[in-house]
Structures are given as structure tokens and as C-alpha cells.
Structure 1
Amino acid sequence: MWKEFIRRHSYQSKVAPNREGARLIIRRLQKTVLRILRDPDFRMSKTSFQQKPTEPDPPVDGTQFSAHRNSKQDSNCRTCNDFKSWSKQQRLISNTQAAKEKHMASEKLTVNAAGIAAPREDCPLDKVRLGISTWGLLHTMAAFYSDNPTDTEKRDMRTFFEVLSRLYPCEYCAKDFRTDIEVNPINVNSQKDLALWLCKFHNRVNDKLGKPLFDCSKVNERWRDGWLDGSCD
């Protein structure tokens, strides 16, 4: 029986000299040996060693080869990769998808809360955005005003506020601004005085609009030094 085994093995080596044929023969030989060990009465047939005819590979141009190669590299197939690489790929895909979904959910909540689509950043300012920007500028100017200003600095700062109250783009806002500074004149004697005056003026506007008032004892912490807890560092 073993002589017949070896003879047929030699025969198949001549028929299939290529690597694929050799691998196929080895696999079939292994299966045959296992069957012999399990069943001593097993008889080998000629067909058990015959190699199935292989079809010639179709011609592949450069484009097809590149696409095939990329599909192999990009395929998310656990059986095509070792477990460590597959697991790492799965975590990367999962994290990317989670981040994308979180971003989309955040945008959806923002839009739904406002009831309208998020505005573009490069559109003309409306009254609200103009007011926010203007308050930021004024408070920052007051925050970095001199502690001991010269007469020229005092005159320039007072003139700036007076001119702004006439040229501010919101007409009724500008009128209210002029009325307020007539009743509460601008205090430009020092940085602390100007920052406190502006904070109180801002609170009077907030009170008219029904908005919460700001603690003016923390005005420099808000606009110059940063919060004491270090959250602005």
C-alpha cells in the first residue's frame, strides 16, 4: 500500500510542478495519511490524488491589479488579518464612527434648540451679535486703561464714548446710550473707575432687557486677569 502511495505521489509531482499544485498534493497527502491512521482498511484510489485542472488566470491590466490590491488592503476581514491587527482596525472604525455620530448629534441639538439652521459665520451682524462684540471691545478697553491716565488719555477716552453714542449702528441703542451718559457721566479718572462705570452701565442695559446682572466687583477678573480658579489660564 505504501509503495502505491509513494508511486502516486511521485506521479502527481510530475503532473503539477508549480507551487499551487505542490501545496494541493501535500494537503491531500496529509488527509490520506490521517485516514490511513484512523482506518487501516482504507484503500487509496487513483482519483484521490488527481489534481483538478486549473483554469488560466484572466489577463489583468494595471488598473484592475491596483483596484484588487487596494481592496485587499482596505478589506475589513477578520480571516484576512491576524487578530491583533483586526482588533485594532475595529477599534479605530468604532471610535471614528462614534465621534462622527456625537458631532452630528451635537449639531442637531443646537439646531433643534434654536428652531432654525445655524447661521453662517460670514454674514452681516444682527443687533444681538453686534451688541456682544461691542461690549467685548468696550470692557477690554476699560480693562487695559491706565491706572494713572494723563489729561490727554482722559480726554480721548471720554471723546471715544461720546462719539460712539452718536455713531453706533443701532439707532435706538445709540439714543439710549446718549441718554444714559448724560445722567451718569463717564468716569475716566482711573482704570478701576472706568471699568466699574462701564460695568454698571452694562447692568442698566441688562436690567432693561430682563437679563441677569453681573457682579461688578469681579469686572477685572472677567475682562483682564482671568478667573481666580485658573480656568482661563
Structure 2
Amino acid sequence: MRLLFTIFTTAERSYKFLGSSGTTALTLFIRRHSHNYDFNQQQQNIGATREEARLIIRRLQKTILRLLRNPDFYNMATPSFQQDQQQHEDESQFNSHASRQTGRQDSNCRTCNDFKSWSKQQRLISNAQNAKEKHMAVAEKLTVKAQDADQQRDDCPLDKVRLGISTWGLLHTMAAFYSDNPTDREKRDMKTFFEVLSRLYPCEFCAKDFRTDLDVNPINVNSQKDLTLWLCKFHNRVNDKLGKPIFDCSKVNERWRDGWLDGSCD
């Protein structure tokens, strides 16, 4: 309605409808279309004819078209919008200045926002807090499980990893203390031991791989050096399949018999 009043007021001034009859007719015409004013009751007091009314309407139409084509029309027709926008910018600057003065954010201030915006902010804050608490709970559970795994009892049944570590320790220690000049019986017993182990090892898949490697790379039991070197290479082949680091076989006796040269095992 404010826009209509602006248009008709501008048209009225442009065509200088300052006469009493013309002004009355135009004003009543505006009221009829904007405020449902009872035009029929005042028609007796109007001296304008139908031709004058059509002329007024035709002039108004031309004026409206000219105004709509004017780029400055919207700035002229909506002053209240500019005032509201300027007021909103001033309030934003004031709130920003106040935030810098207090060193706190005002996004969570209920008195600084409408209820709908404030409620939406509260939901976002609540969802973020819930997500953070859920993440912390999951992390805590994983930490507890890791601690439980680390604190596993020593008298529990061996799994595949712990069985493998224990078995490698036994084999390397046996090879480390094998004779430098073994007898035929010692040689035969060591070969028999590895052959039996490859058939009776509790891990079926590991035992099968063990037998295959023995067929391709027969055990060397001629001396302690030969046996430890063969076993070290065999262990490295397994490590390579599992993606584990390769051990330096020149240090096999330091690792399993003599201890490290730096004295850390003394």
C-alpha cells in the first residue's frame, strides 16, 4: 500500500491535480482501491465526469509506466526498507563492537536474537556437544580395549602370534647352542626334529608352508654356523611374506647366544 500511495502521490504532483474536485476524486479513487472506501456514498459530491475519470486513470497509467522505467524509482518508493536495512547494519556494527569489547561471541545470546534463530543455534550447539561426547566415549572404549589387550594374563592359551614368537625363540636358541662339530646322530636328530615339527605344528597353514620351504631349501646341519645361518634365512623368508623387517643374519649369535656387543644384555 505504501508503494501505491507513493505512485499516486507522485502522479498527483506531476500533473498538478490541485483543484478541489480533481484532488477529491483522485484521493477517493486511491482510498477505494487501498482501503475499501465507500466510493458510492461520496459520488454525489464529486464533480468529475466519466471522461475526467478515464483521463485521470490514463494519466496515472502513463505515470506508473514512466516511474517503473526510472532506475531511481525503487529507491524513492521504498525508503522504509532502506531505513530498516541501515538500522540492521548499525545494530550489526554495534553488536560486533560490543563483542570485541567483551571478548565474547554474542551468537548464543538469547536477548540478542529472535527466538527462532536462538533456538536453532541452541540445537546446533547441542548436536555438536553430543557428537563430541560420543566421539570421546568411543575413544575411551578403544583405549580400554587396548589396555585390556596389553594386560592380558600370561597363563592364557597362545594365539597364532604369541605361538610363532615362542616357536622362533625355541628354534633360534636350539640352533645357537648347536655343536660346531656335530656327530652324525646330532645331525640326524636335528633333521628329524624339524621334519616332525613341520608336521605337528599347531597352525595348519604355517605347518604346510614350513614343509614346502623345507623341500625347496633343505636344512643344513653341518655346523652351528651353518644351522644358524639357514634358520635365519628361513625366518627372513617368513618375515618377507608377512611384511615384517628383515634381520641381519650376521648378528644372529649376538641376538640368540652371546648378547649384543654394547653390553645391553649383560
Q: Please report the TM-score for the alignment, with normalisation by the length of structure 2.
A: 0.45
* Structure-2 separation of matches of 1:134 and 1:227: 21
Query: Distance between the aligned counterparts of 1:190 and 1:214, measured in 2?
Result: 21
Q: What's the counterpart of residue 121 of structure 1?
A: 154
Paired residue for 1:198? 231
What is the alpha-carbon distance in structure 1 between the residues aligned to residue 212 and residue 224 of structure 2?
23
SS in 2 for 1:197: helix
Is 1:154 the equivalent of 2:192? Answer: no
Query: For residue 134 of structure 1, what is the aligned residue in structure 2?
Result: 167
| Partner SS, residue 145 of structure 1 | coil
Residues in 1 aligned to 2:176 and 2:143: alpha-carbon distance in whole angstroms: 35
**Compared CA separation, residues 111 and 152, structure 1 to 2 (3 A):** farther
Residue pairs, 1:56-205, within 5 angstroms = 114=146, 116-117=148-149, 118-205=151-238
Long gaps (5+) in structure 2 = 1-139
Of the candidates 202, 213, 216, which is equivalent to residue 249 of structure 2? 216
Structure 1 stretches lacking a partner, 5+ long: 1-107
> Which protein has the larger Cα radius of gyration, Structure 1 or Structure 2?
2
Q: 1:228 to 1:112 in 2, by over 3 A?
A: farther
Partner Cα distance (1:111, 1:196) in 2: 41
Structure 1 residues 114-123 or 208-217, which shifts more? Answer: 114-123
AA of the residue aligned to 2:256: W
Output the CA distance in 2 between the equivalents of 1:115 and 1:171: 30
Aligned residue-pair number: 125
1:120 Cα offset (Å): 1.3
Give, in whole Å, the separation in 2 of the partners of 1:168 and 1:183: 19
- Specify the alignment match of 2:132 in structure 1: none
Q: Distance in 2 between matches of 1:111 and 1:170?
A: 30
Cα-to-partner distance string for 1:195-229 (whole Å, 9 max, x where unaligned): 00000000000000000000000000100010001
More helix by share: 2
Aligned-pair identity in percent equals: 87
CA distance in 2, matches of 1:227, 1:179: 33
Cα gap change, 1:111/1:134 in structure 2, threshold over 3 Å: closer, same or farther?
farther
Deviation string, structure 1 residues 116-170 (Cα, Å, up to 9, x no partner) = 5421111100000000000000000000000000000000000000000000000
Q: Which residue of 2 aligns with 1:29?
A: none
* Root-mean-square deviation over aligned CA pairs: 1.9
Q: Deviations over 1:42-95 (max 9, x none)?
A: xxxxxxxxxxxxxxxxxxxxxxxxxxxxxxxxxxxxxxxxxxxxxxxxxxxxxx
Q: CA separation in 1, counterparts of 2:252 and 2:160? A: 24
- Residue type at the aligned position of 1:134: T
Sort the Cα spacing of 1:121 and 1:154 in 2 relative to 1 into closer, same or farther, 3 A: same
Classify 1:113/1:208 alpha carbon distance in 2 versus 1 (closer, same or farther; 3 Å).
Answer: farther
TM, length-normalised to structure 1: 0.51
Deviant stretches of 4+, over 6 Å: none
Helix, strand or coil for the counterpart of 1:156?
helix
Distance 2:253 2:145 in 1: 33
Partner Cα distance (2:143, 2:225) in 1: 41
Match of 1:230 in 2: 263
